[in-house]
Amino acid sequence: MKHSFLPAALALALTLGVAPAVFSAGTVEIKLATILPVGTSGHQNLMEMRAAWQKAAGPAVKLTIYAGMADGEPLLVKKMRARQINAAVLTAVGLSEIDRSVSSLQLMPMMFRDWREVDHVREKIRPELEARLRAKGFEVLFWGDAGWVRYFSKEPGAYPDDYKNMKLFVLAGVPRQMEIMRELGYQPVSLETEQILPSLATGMISVVPVPPFLANALQFNRQAKYMLDLNWVPIVGAAIVRTDVWEKIPSELRAQLQEIANVAAGKIRTQTRAEDDEAIAAMQKNGLVVQPVTPAIRAAWQEVATQLYPRIRGPIVPADIFDQVQAALTEFRAAHGAGTP
C-alpha cells in the first residue's frame, strides 16, 4: 500500500531530549515488515518512528524495517509465526489471519459513513480487538488507516449490476470474499497487489476496488480511467509485534515506545486521509473521470451491502463483534447525527 497505514506525542518524543536508556540484557531486535513501498509517506512515518525509538531506547532496542514486501499479508503472518520476522504493518485482511474480529473495521461494506464513525467504533471495540490479538501472541503497536476503497474501472459503471460483466480484482488470501462475490453474480479474480497493473493491461481484470492514493501511486488510473465516487469500505490496519519479543523490553521503556507509536499513528491517519483527496485531484488532471453518486445509485449499493451482511456476520466477522459495531454506530449517530451517507 502506498502512504501510511495505516498527536502531538511523536513530536514530543522527538524533542524531549530524554537520555536514551541503556540496559544490560542485550539488544532486542524488532524486524518489522510492510507492503508499504520505500519512499512513500507511510514508510517515511515508520522511519521517523524508528528514529524516535532509537533516541528513547539507545542500544536496548533495534527496529529494522523491511518495506515494499511483495509476499502478501497472509504470508507475512506466516513469517511472523515462523519467527523469520517478528512484527508487521497489516491491513484487516492480514490481521484477520490472526483473529477474524479485526475484519469488523474493514470488511463490512457501507457500514461506516465517515471517518468520525470509523474512529468512534475503533476506539470503542479496540480493547476487545487487542485482547483477542494478545491471546494469539501479538501486541498492537498502533492502529492506522489508508483511505476509502473506491471502484476504479476500465469502462464506466455506476450501479452494482454495471460491474457484473467486468472482472473484479479481489486481494489474494480472502477465499470467502471470492465465494460471496460469485454468489452475488460478480466475476472476482484473486491477485496480489503487484499483479494489478499488468492484469489491467492484459484484460485479466477490469475493475479495481482500492483507495485513491494507491490507484494514483501505482498508476492504476492509466488503465482504469473511471472512478465511482462511493466510499465502499475503509482500509484499516495496525502495526503488531510478537508478544514474546515485545515483553523482552523492560516495561518502562515499552511504555515510552508505545507512546511514540501511538503518535505516529495519529500522524499517519491525518496524512492518509488528506492524501486520498489529493490523489483524486491529481488523477483528474491526468484524465480520470469521477462518476458522481446519486441517491438512487447509493440506494442500490446499500441494498447490495445489506445483502452481504448476513453472509459476513459469523463467517467473516464474528457475530458478537459485528453486533458490537452496529451498537456502537447506533450510539454514535444518536449522539452526533447520522453523518453524510
Name the β-bridge partners of 227. Answer: 152, 290
Place of cell 523469520: 84
User: Which element (helix H / strand E) includes 316?
Assistant: none
* Of 77, 81, 115, the residue nearest 93 (C-alpha): 77
Tell me, yes or no, whether 39 lies in a domain.
yes
- Radius of gyration of the chain from Cα atoms? 20
* pTM reported for the whole predicted model: 0.84
37 plus 72 within the same structural domain: yes
The whole domain housing 253 covers 9-145+235-271
d(CA 341, CA 333): 12
Tell me, yes or no, whether 3 lies in a domain.
no
Tell me, yes or no, whether 326 lies in a domain.
no
Tell me, yes or no, whether 330 lies in a domain.
no
How would you write 79-102 as a 3-class SS string?
HHHCCCCCEEEEEHHHHCCCCHHH
286 plus 264 within the same structural domain: no
Angle between helices 319-336 and 115-135 (to 10 degrees): 150
Amino acid found at 131: A
**For 218, phi and psi rounded to 5 degrees?**
-100, 5
Q: What is the pLDDT along the chain (341 residues), one digit of tens a residue?
A: 333 333 323 232 322 333 344 444 589 999 999 987 787 788 889 999 999 999 999 999 999 999 887 777 889 999 999 999 999 999 998 999 999 999 999 999 999 999 999 999 999 999 999 999 999 999 999 999 888 999 999 999 999 999 999 999 998 777 888 888 898 899 999 988 788 999 999 999 999 999 998 899 888 999 999 999 999 999 999 999 999 999 999 999 999 999 999 999 998 888 888 888 899 999 999 999 999 999 999 999 999 999 999 999 999 999 999 999 999 999 999 998 765 55
252 plus 201 within the same structural domain: no
CATH of the domain at 169: 3.40.190.170
Tell me, yes or no, whether 30 lies in a domain.
yes
Tell me, yes or no, whether 81 lies in a domain.
yes
250 plus 314 within the same structural domain: no
d(CA 35, CA 69): 5
* Of 292, 319, 140, 180, the residue nearest 230 (C-alpha): 292
159-218: per-residue pLDDT in tens? 999 999 999 999 877 788 888 889 889 999 998 878 899 999 999 999 999 999 889 988
95 plus 178 within the same structural domain: no
* Of 152, 153, 187, 147, the residue nearest 170 (C-alpha): 187
Give the distance, in angstroms, between the CA of residue 32 and the centroid of all CA atoms in the same chain: 16
